Amino acid sequence: MPVSVTDFTVRSPIDLPGIARAGYRLRRGWPDLEGAVGMWLWTSPLERRVGSVSVWTGETALRGFVMWPVHVEIMRRYRRRGSIRAATWTAERYDRGEVWRVARRRPAAGTRSTGDRISRG
């Protein structure tokens, strides 16, 4: 099962409420996404960070989410307002506790994108 974790650090705290609302908008559509197993949103306002952890039945389902028009629109709106770290891996089975243990370590080792430029984090 593919697992994706994102960690977005915004430059300005003024953007946090809009980003949080966008995340909740994604969450509302979650039950209708094919191949969606689990999704958790998290925030760390004092660090100006927000993120997600998501679990999918397969790579096709994960790619479908990435290309979902709602997701694309949100990423276009906010991607230049901070930097994002993202990582994916394959879990042998769905174990919520294990997914979270790995997710807490993964963003630091993932790729970092600041607007259009992507570099190893």
pLDDT at residue 119 in the model: 32
pLDDT at residue 82 in the model: 94
> Taking 70 as the threshold, does the pLDDT of residue 23 lie above it?
yes
Q: Of 33 and 120, which is predicted with more confidence?
A: 33
> Taking 60 as the threshold, does the pLDDT of residue 59 lie above it?
yes
Token digits of residue 33: 């996404």
Token digits of residue 34: 């094919």
Contacting residues for 14 by C-beta, under 8 A, at least 6 apart: none
> Taking 90 as the threshold, does the pLDDT of residue 116 lie above it?
no
Whole-model pTM: value is 0.80
69-83 average pLDDT score:
92
